[in-house]
Chains A and B, each alone.
Chain A
Amino acid sequence: MAILQLALKSLWNRRFTAGLTLLSITLSVALLLGVERLRNESRSSFANTISGTDLIVGARSGSIQLLLYSVFRIGNPTNNIDWQSYQAIIKHPNVKWSIPITLGDSHHGFRVMGTTPDYFKYYRYSRKRPLQFQNGKPFTDVYDAVLGAEVAEQLGYQLDQKIVIAHGAGKVSLIKHDNKPFTVVGILNKTGTPVDRAVHVDLRGIEAIHIDWQGGSPTPGMRITADKAKQLDLNPKTITAAMLGLSSRISTFKVRHYINNYREEPLQAILPGVALQELWDMMAVAEKALLAISLFVVLVGLTGMVTAILTSLNERRREMAILRSVGARPAHILLLISGEAIGLCLLGILLGIGLLYSLLFIGQPLIESHYGLFINIDWPSTYEFGLLGILLLASLLVSLIPGIRAYRYSLADGMTIRL
C-alpha cells in the first residue's frame, strides 16, 4: 500500500508531463473509437440511403449502375422504360406500391426528378423513416415542385417561389423551360441522402414542359402555353426507373424473376440492399485506410507515453536510489515504472471513452440536423472492447521498455548514483 502511495505522490510531482501523456492517450483512444464508430455509422447510413423498397426496376444494365442513377442520381441510364411495360409490371399481383421516376432535367445543377405523390407516401430511408415536410405539402398540380432540404438552403428558396427548370442535367444549360415555371409547394426535411439534392415535380409536369418540343429543342413557332398543356394528355411515354414495394417479402424473388424475364422489353429488377452492399464493398479500401490511420494514431500515443516516461527516468534516478535505500528491490522498481505506464494507459482509455461519449451526446443532434446522419449511441461493441484490450496489451509491452531500463539502472546504481 505504501508503495502505491509513493508512486501516486511521485506521479503528482510530475503532474504536468504525466497529464500531457494522459491527454495524448485519451485523445488517441477517442480518435480510434470515433473513427471506428464513424466507419460503422457511415456504412449503415449508406446502407440506409434507401429502405423499405423491395425492388428497383430499370433498363437492363448492371445492378450498381441502376442503383447509382436511380437512387444516387450519378451517371446515366442506358435506356428508359416504356410506360406500358411499367403499367404491366405494377399490375403483377404481388406489387403493393410503385414509385415511377424520371430524370433528365435540372435546376441550377440540382437534378429534377419527375415522380408521383406516392413518392412522399412510400419512399423510406434510414431504417424505414418516411420523408417529412419542413414546410408545405406534396405536389398536386402539374406545375408544383417539392424541394430537397439542401436545394432550398443553398438557393435560399421559400414556399410559393417560382422556379424555371433547365433542359438537360448540366450545371450550365442554355435551354430553359421558361414558359412553364414551377411553384414551390413543399420543402422536405434533411435526410442525409440524395433526396436532399433533388427537385421533385409531378411526372405530368415533366411531360408538360416537353410537350411542344421536338428532337430535343423547342419547335419553332409552336409554343403551347402552360395552361393549354394541362388540357392535353400528359401521361408520360417513358420513365427512367421505378421503385417497387411488394405485398410479401417472399414474393420478391418471384417478381424479380418475372421482371428479368419480361418478354416485351429487356428490363432488370435489382435488390437495392444487395446492390448497396456491392457498392460499399467496392469502397472497402477507403474504409480499411481509415482504420489504419486510427491505429497509427494510437501507436503515436503509446510512443509519446514511452518517451515521456523514458525522459523522466534520468530525473528519477535519485528517487529510485532512495527507494532502494529503504529496501525496495529492483523488481519493485520495474513494477513501479511499468505499473505507472499501464495505469496511465488504463486511465487514458477510460477518459477516452468518456470523451467520445460526451462528444457523441453533444454532437448527435447537431450532426443529425446538419448532415442528416443519425449516429446511434450504443455501448461499445465487442470488437471495440477487443481493440481496447489490444491497446492495453500493447501498453503493457511498451511499458517494459522503461521498466527494464529502470531495473537495470537501479541494479547498476544501487544506492548511489554514478553519473
Chain B
Amino acid sequence: MFGNKLSSLSIITASLILLYSPFTHAGKTQHRQHGSHEHGSAQLNIAIEGQRLYLELSSPAANIVGFEHKPHNDKQRQTLKKAIKILNQTSLLFTPSASAQCKSNKIEVDVDTLQDEHDKKDSHHHHSGHADFSAHYVFVCQKPSKLTTLQLLLFKPFPGIEKLQVQLLTETGQSAITATAQKATIKLK
C-alpha cells in the first residue's frame, strides 16, 4: 500500500521534471556551452606567416561600447556606430614597424549579437546576457624581415580594455604576453 503510494508519487515527480526539462521543449538535445567572458580584458591573437600579419581581436562588448545588449536609444546606437567605425580603421588600432611597410589588406568586424533585429543577417546566436565584439585584420608587409614590433593604439579609443591577452605565433614559436596601455608595444621577434 505504502510502497504503491510512494511509487506513484515518484512517477508524478518524474513527469513534472520531464515537463520542465529543456529536452521536452526543444524535442532534441541542445548544445550548451559558453566561452569565458571577463570585462576589462580582451584577447588579441597574432600570427605571422610569410608576408602576412594576421590579427584577431575579440572583446566583451562592455569594453568597447559600455553595454551588452541591442542599442535601446539613439545615444547607444551612435556609440555602437562609432565603435564599428573605429574598429574598421586599423590606423587607430595598430602600428606595425614602419620599416616593414605593412598595409592593411582585409578587415572584418563582427558585432552580430549587438545589431538591431532588422539588420542582423542570421539569428542563430543565442543571447546569453553577454555579447562580444570580434574583428579580424590582415596586413601584407613588403619587408616582413623588418617586422619586429607591433604598437597597440586601441587602448586609447577603447579605454574599457584594461588588459589585452596576446597570443603570438611566429616562425620561432608560440608565446603569450599581457599588454596594457602602459605596455602597449609587442615584440614580434
Q: How far is the CB of A55 from chain B (nearest CB, A)?
A: 10
Q: Which one of B48, B52, B56, B173 lies within 8 Å of A47 (CB-CB)?
A: B173
Q: How far is the CB of B141 from chain A (nearest CB, A)?
A: 13
Interface status of A273 (Cβ within 8 A of chain B): yes
Give residues of chain A (250-289) contacting chain B, Cβ–Cβ below 8 Å: 250, 252-253, 261, 263, 266, 271-274, 277-278
Is A271 a contact of B33 with CB atoms below 8 Å?
no
**Chain B: residues with CB nearer than 8 A to chain A?**
31, 33, 45, 47-49, 52, 54, 56, 167, 169-170, 173-176
A-B contact sample (8 more), CB < 8 A, given A253-B47, A273-B175: A47-B173, A252-B47, A253-B56, A263-B31, A266-B33, A271-B176, A272-B174, A274-B176
Q: How far is the CB of A186 from chain B (nearest CB, A)?
A: 28
Chain B residues whose CB sits within 8 angstroms of the CB of A250 once the complex forms: 47, 49, 52, 54
Chain B residues whose CB sits within 8 angstroms of the CB of A381 once the complex forms: none
State in angstroms the CA–CA spacing of A179 and B54 once bound together. 54
Is B52 a contact of A274 with CB atoms below 8 Å?
no
**Chain A: residues with CB nearer than 8 A to chain B?**
47, 51, 54, 248-250, 252-253, 261, 263, 266, 271-274, 277-278
Q: Which one of B33, B48, B175 lies within 8 Å of A249 (CB-CB)?
A: B48
Some 17 contacts from A to B, beta carbons below 8 A apart, are A47-B173, A248-B49, A249-B47, A249-B49, A250-B47, A250-B49, A250-B52, A250-B54, A252-B169, A253-B45, A253-B47, A253-B56, A271-B167, A271-B174, A274-B176, A277-B174, A277-B175
State in angstroms the CA–CA spacing of A391 and B47 once bound together. 41
Chain A residues whose CB sits within 8 angstroms of the CB of B56 once the complex forms: 253
Q: How far is the CB of B153 from chain A (nearest CB, A)?
A: 22
Is B49 a contact of A278 with CB atoms below 8 Å?
no
State in angstroms the CA–CA spacing of A163 and B120 once bound together. 64
Is A277 a contact of B176 with CB atoms below 8 Å?
yes
A-B CB proximity, top 4 nearest? A273-B174, A249-B49, A274-B176, A250-B54
Can you name the residue of chain B whose Cβ is closest to the Cβ of A60? B33
Q: Which one of B49, B167, B173 lies within 8 Å of A51 (CB-CB)?
A: B173
State in angstroms the CA–CA spacing of A51 and B175 once bound together. 12
Chain B residues whose CB sits within 8 angstroms of the CB of A261 once the complex forms: 33
